[in-house]
Amino acid sequence: MKKETNDIALSPNSLKVLERRYLKKNSKGEVTETPQGLFRRVAKTIAMADLKFGKEFAEVEKLETDFYEMMTQLNFLPNSPTLMNAGRELGQLSACFVIPIQDSMESIFDGVKNAAIIHKSGGGTGFSFSNLRPNGDMVGSTKGVSSGPISFMTVFDSATEAVKQGGTRRGANMAILRVDHPDILDFITCKDNLDKLNNFNISVALTSDFMNAVEKNEQYDIINPRTKQAEKTIEARYVLDVIIKHAWQTGEPGVIFIDRINESNPTPKVGMIESTNPCGEQPLLAFESCNLGSINLSKMVKDGHVDYEKLKDITHKAVHFLDNVIDINKYPLKQIKEITQANRKIGLGIMGWADMLIDLGIPYNSEKALTLAEELMKFIRQEGRNQSTILAEQRGVFPNHDKSIYHGKMKLRNATITTIAPTGSLSIIAGCSSGIEPLFAVSYIRTVLEGTKMIEVNPKFEEIARKKGFHSDELMTRISESASIKDFKDIPADIRKIFVTSHDISPSDHIKTQAAFQTHTCNAVSKTVNFPTTATPEDVKEVYLLAYKTGCKGVTVYRDGSRDEQVLSVKKKSTVSKSAAVDSQVKKDEYQKIVPKKRPDVIKGTTHCIKTGCGNLYVTINANENNSPFEIFNHIGKAGGCAASQSEAIGRLLSLALRCDIAVDQVIKQLKGISCHQPSWASVGKISSCADAVAKALELHQKHFKIEHTKDGEVFKMGACPECGGTVEHEGGCAVCHDCGFTKCG
């Protein structure tokens, strides 16, 4: 297909993502739409909503042009379902949904059905399982016992796995459980087994009572949702420590501050908020949906200053666009249409924040950046409200306005205006940094067609490097092999300060940035707080407490390599509801010893032949579905005696360690460099011993599957994209591949 892109500044990777995920295809899978055609299709469809409000056709054509130019100039992009489905048969345009689950089989399996319908239409779903009676509780109708929320989560997970969303978006779920639910400890640890619940993000809903108990080092009540009675008390700091330990190990669970979220619930008389969308930035009522869009801040700078006139214009047009989406949308369920059109929530956010700061010469981790973040978001929210007021005068306030906190104060068309969402695929299309995240890297190696590698450099950095005369191919190559340029002395210090990456920024500065934007955001802010591998649980705890103190509505953390390291695989003795786990006597020694994972009947692997002083050592490395080493078999040529028995012993012990999720880089570190009296040389360099040879084989395996390490051993890019093999990055509370646009959160 001819790529007619002369009026859109799209990079080759932007085009690749559009062709792979967004452009129309025929029955043979061939692309039949240009990028201009996509944006024209979307602009025309969304502008047509104005006909419902008495606008003339000529006015609608002018609006279509405004929307088209806003998108093709990459000033604003709506959420993915709108780009994919506007003007097409499916017509489902919202990204975020919350489905209620009540304590009955009918409600639970209605939820499964409704989630499948939403996933098929391209949306992501959030659920609160807090209303379900705990594991082991009485079931009155059968005189049996309940299996609890977590067992039902697996049913939702299996249903999600079965729905492929038309090949364009993956099903994504958020599971939330209140911290005072009897099964809370089981919930916190429910993703310890990496083979389960892979279609869920999980978050604990922390209450104000719980946070007060943490501060005062007191106990808090565990409440049975069936009886609404307190069953036990438990030490708040202990539960927080368990949450933090697992977030440190795996990045989950996240937390949301549920009472704080409900304090800003715009329609409390309609209902209380119990859950959010999959990335946590959009709290919603039962059956409510929300459509999102993001302004590209990298396009809002002029002559070294924020172009507030342009930002005002784009904000007004974007609010108009998103409000129109509500009327054009083909909703997957009747209940969703009713509550969504009654509240008319929209979520206008931003992307390209890091790019804007670079253009302004402001370091991301500076007080000046925090001040600008508050000022900027306040401006967007105010101008968004101004446009919503104009629309309310023309079209009427949202139907639930008389049940809202705005009643008698201001007349708005939309119950909420602003949300800061992750923008993985959208920011690739727009060619800007993701959401409010810092740069992930200044330069990196990108996987292109047929596995070809190419070095991609941040265009702003390359421009400055050439202008200031320190550009060289050798420098760009070195930068692509590092997560940071902070120690590159051949780059001017002022440039290094501006081009900071996520790994240069302290966790507390990540939280301060999130809090600065949250101050003037109606809904919530999606942001990942990055930690180095060396971070401790205490470091994570500090960030959780800081997030609460600074007014955030939730927090998501990711420690480099944590999901692949999984240092501990713990197994609790019993559940909260029926054991001492809810007593004040619960201590951390309730955890048993590490138990190795069971070996599957069939497992795939590769064999490396490495020359050692004792002969050729054949190292077979079998890996799990994530390409992480699972077991090792060693065979040393024709040698017998001690050499053969010791190499076999090494293999057995390493297999045991790997099946217990001991970090591979730690295994390599222990083996590498062990020497014997007969060293040798091989293609991988000096082989000091058979143990050293096994370490070299493991290193080869890690490199082959793109599991990369810095010279300090910190893992910055772990795992490969399941769709294209590129590197997956953690940002915006989600996992994103910048090669193909894949995102774990849909």
Instruction: List, by residue number, the catalytic residues.
Output: 277, 279, 281
Query: Both tokens of residue 352?
Result: 């390209």
Report which DSSP code applies to 21.
Answer: I
What 372-375 contacts at long range (C-beta under 8 Å, 24+ apart), as own/partner pairs, is 372/306, 373/436, 373/513, 373/516, 373/517, 374/516, 374/517, 374/519, 374/520
CA distances from 681 to 612, 643, 647, 700, 704 (A): 7, 18, 18, 16, 21
| Sign of the four-CA dihedral 328, 334, 337, 342 | positive
The 3 state secondary structure assigned to 575-590 is CCCCCHHHCCCCCHHH
Amino acid identity, residue 722?
Answer: P
Residue 662 Cα to chain centre, angstroms: 25
What residues are paired with 350 via a beta bridge?
Answer: 295
Shortest CA distance to 96 belongs to which of 346, 256, 289?
289
The total number of residues written for the chain in this structure: 746
Shortest CA distance to 546 belongs to which of 511, 585, 588, 509?
511
Kindly write down the DSSP assignment for every residue of 514-548, as one continuous string: HHHHHTT-SS-B--EEEE-TT--HHHHHHHHHHHH
Residues 6+ positions from 580 with CB-CB distance below 8 Å? 574, 586, 590
Give the integer Cα–Cα distance in Å for 746 and 735: 10
Report which DSSP code applies to 729.
Answer: E
Three-class secondary structure of residue 66 per DSSP: helix
Report which DSSP code applies to 34.
Answer: -
Kindly write down the DSSP assignment for every residue of 306-367, as one continuous string: E-HHHHHHHHHHHHHHHHHHHHH---SSHHHHHHHHHH--EEEEEE-HHHHHHHHT--TTSH
Give the integer Cα–Cα distance in Å for 149 and 101: 10
Contact 724, 742 (CB under 8 A): yes
Report which DSSP code applies to 631.
Answer: E
Look-up of token digits 């609790």: 572
The two beta strands, 138-139 and 144-145, are antiparallel
